[in-house]
Structure 1
Amino acid sequence: FDLDSIWTFIFGVPVSSGNVFSSIHNVCTEAAMLLLAMLRTMLNSPWQSEEEGSWLREYPVTLMQFFRYLYHNVPDLASMWISSEFLCALSASVFTFNIRPYSEMVTDLDDEVGSPAEEFKNFASDTGMNRSQSEYCNMGTKTYLTNHPAKKFVFDFMRVLVIENLCLTPASKQTPLIDLLLEASPERSTRAQQKEFQTYILDSVMDHLLAADVLL
């Protein structure tokens, strides 16, 4: 797969065609939702057993590069990037699939956590879930999210969306994009997954702002 072939498949015209941008108007949000659903499936597939350069390793990265290209070059899609539907689907792509009902996976944690300090303590010590829950959720010992190499590209894209949104003059009563992202999580995601996801987002944004001396 490459960016040109993905473009041609989605829009029905080659990249070099003069009618590229006029055809984009026919693309609906559902197409992006489908691509993000495919992305999440690939990030949760057994990619570790694949050889370097295999499609299961490379295609998710190419797909994120494609989204970045559209974001920077197609202003007609501006409203899609800040929609709650797109942000929720993008966020869900880095969450691992859980096979137990959500209520079963968080009951113990909800009973134990009684204060913000205790929540931080539980998260820092990786005790957000008991052993049985961790085994059923297919989670690694160091992360509750996917560990596919494309995860970095997903969070990088989220950071770009957040930073550029912060630079805009907010519309009246419009929820900031960073708030939408921090609250986005798929069904049956665990508290531990949500905390790790939110930490990734905040760390990425803060690191970028500090590197740019925005907060100094």
Structure 2
Amino acid sequence: MKRIGRIAGIVALAGAVFVGTSVGACGGGTENPPATNEPDLTGVIYAGVATDEALEALLLATPKADPAQAVVVDTPATGATLPKDVPPTIEWHVGGSSASRAPSAGERFVGAAKAIASFFGPREAWAHGAPVNGRAYLLVFSTPKSPELVRVFTTELSYTFDAATWTKLALTGEPVTLVVTNAIFEDNRVAQDGGPFTGESVTFSIGP
């Protein structure tokens, strides 16, 4: 009988340890949530036929150094001072050539619809629109205090600021640095040997 009693005690003790461990692991909610590898796309402005799926693929890929594939900013020139009350158009090209691709009929249709929508201001990503094929460009406008103050993801070779976004930059009162990263996509995925490629930075000021 004593042996049976000892076995029962061991079983009871093991059950108590299991319950206590389970409560400690699951209760209270004090543990940090699991880490996620998804990049933060908050506040990104989308233009052309750009999608958030393509942008995620670009941000998760490792940049490559290839001057022939990197973006060169045409306007503004580095050191330029732009007027505060006139939202500018940013223009660029890739590695000394236009590197442009004629859009398909479907892309032209989606692009026209998005152009109409963009008339009313910056849009959210068309997450389930036509996938990106060809080049797309991530413009990052930063200041000394805000490393990602404005981000634009577009499939076009120019971007015209809307008044609200330009005012956001102008109100900082700081020099603005632009870096354009591009990649070549196949159905929202970065193509093999398709980058991403990071261009040289351009720093400009916004006048009174």
So what's the TM-score if we normalise by structure 2?
A: 0.23
Q: When you count strand as a share of all residues, which structure comes out higher?
A: 2
Report the TM-score, using the length of structure 1 for normalisation. Answer: 0.23
In proportion to residue count, which structure has more helix? 1
Greater gyration radius: 2
